[in-house]
Structure 1
Amino acid sequence: MSNQNSPSLPRPSLLKRVLIGAGIALVLITIFLFPVEGRPEWGAFWKVRPMIVVPLAGAAGGVCSYFIQNLFGAGGRRKALVVILSVIVYIVGLWMGTILGLDGTLWD
């Protein structure tokens, strides 16, 4: 017998979306930061903050995508609307994470 009140592990599809969202964000911020030379007043490790914050925002976007699909997902036209809404939420979250990650350095 299984206990219905026991916490369950995240589903593989949730973990997959989190990893894909964080991976896309990490690639984008890495491409954006590689050619940039920092200013001396930013410190030696100024790239660490955006390299942490932006993938976390991407992972949060993946979680939002998972929950949007589970709440509203169905077949046909509705599925297309859910995908479009998920992409919009992901892009807005990634943009906000980029602003938070680059605040005080490249985003003044």
Structure 2
Amino acid sequence: MAHGNEFQNNPIHAASVSKRMLQGAGIALILITVFLLSAGEPDPNWPKLWIIRPLVVVPLAGALGGVLYYNLDHLRSEGSWRKTLAHILSLIGYVIVLWLGVVLGLHGTMWD
């Protein structure tokens, strides 16, 4: 006896939240590293290990952007214009979160 109304277990999320967090943090780490390496000589008035703060805070913000991307997967699974909307919202949200992370990471040193 076959049932015509069976549910299929299609996962909404293409990847786990930890994978999305690592992707977001990795992108942020690469961007802040390139920025810091191209910035030149630091001001001697800054603390000795000032570079550690942006190298920790910015990837944490990038991981938060990865969580945002993960949480918008339900829109991506619906297709059509909602998929495009989810990609645009994810990109805008990631850029905003990353910008805030850069501001927090560089506050007191390069962001004065």
Q: Fold match, TM over 0.5? A: yes
1:96 match? 100
String of CA shifts for 1:24-67, please: whole Å, max 9, x gaps: 00000000001331111112111000000000000000001111
* Aligned alpha-carbon RMSD (Å): 1.4
Separation of aligned partners in 1, 2:16 and 2:81: 22
Using the TM superposition, give the Cα deviation of residue 13 of structure 1 relative to its aligned residue in structure 2, in angstroms: 2.2
Q: Greater helix percent: which structure?
A: 1
2:17 match? 14
1:24 match? 27
How do 1:1-108 and structure 2 match up within 5 A?
A: 12-35=15-38, 36-70=40-74, 72-73=75-76, 74-108=78-112
Percent identity of the aligned residues?
Answer: 53
Contact 1:22 1:57 in 2 (8 A): yes
Give the number of the structure whose alpha-carbon radius of gyration is greater. 2
Structure 1 residue runs without a partner (length 5+): 1-10
Letter in 1 for 2:50: W
2:4 match? none
Letter in 2 for 1:65: Y
Using the TM superposition, give the Cα deviation of residue 69 of structure 1 relative to its aligned residue in structure 2, in angstroms: 2.0
Separation of aligned partners in 1, 2:17 and 2:30: 20
Aligned length, in residue pairs: 97
What is the DSSP-based 3-state SS (H/G/I as helix, E as strand, rest coil) of the residue aligned with 1:41? coil
Structure 2 residue runs without a partner (length 5+): 1-13
Using the TM superposition, give the Cα deviation of residue 80 of structure 1 relative to its aligned residue in structure 2, in angstroms: 0.9
